[in-house]
């Protein structure tokens, strides 16, 4: 049980920060679809399904951010070099789109599908949310 406590704490902290980090990006979307998407968090069947949704596109790594995300993972976390870029990007985009309980569910799904440890999953989640937020502030200006 004590081994799961840090992961739970990290998931809750990231969820609290992630909700504000991936909310209203200021990218000229109408408020109504964004509100509907935030009240019903996406629960994708697969990580790549996070990029296909209803009328409001879920948050994802865009522009140069996918390259920075992958470079961060590759340069700082060599223990994840066995995971393909496509899988990392798919899960990174899924973390960007997830809010609240869906964020914790996505963390579990990532650990299961990629075979990562909780620490590795937290690294993917943190990097994705960091670059997701960076991308939203740059597109808003």
Q: What is the pLDDT of residues 65-112, one digit of tens each?
A: 999 999 999 999 999 999 999 999 999 999 999 988 999 999 999 999
Q: Which residue has the higher pLDDT, 98 or 30?
A: 98
pTM for this predicted structure: 0.57
Cβ contacts of 17 within 8 Å, gap of 6 or more: 129
Rounded-to-integer distance, Cα 94 and Cα 44, Å: 8
* Mean predicted confidence (pLDDT) in 13-22: 55
């Amino acid at each position: 049980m004590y081994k799961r406590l840090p992961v739970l704490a990290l998931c809750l902290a990231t969820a609290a920060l992630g909700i504000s980090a991936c909310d209203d990006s200021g990218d000229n979307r109408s408020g109504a679809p964004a509100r509907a998407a935030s009240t019903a968090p996406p629960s994708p069947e697969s990580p790549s399904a996070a990029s296909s949704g209803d009328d409001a596109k879920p948050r994802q790594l865009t522009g140069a951010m996918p390259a920075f995300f992958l470079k961060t993972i590759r340069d700082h976390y060599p223990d994840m070099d066995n995971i393909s870029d496509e899988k990392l990007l798919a899960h990174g985009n899924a973390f960007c789109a997830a809010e609240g309980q869906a964020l914790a569910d996505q963390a579990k799904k990532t650990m299961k599908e990629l075979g990562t440890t909780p620490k590795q999953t937290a690294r993917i989640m943190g990097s994705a949310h960091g670059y997701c937020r960076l991308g939203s502030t740059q597109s808003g200006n």
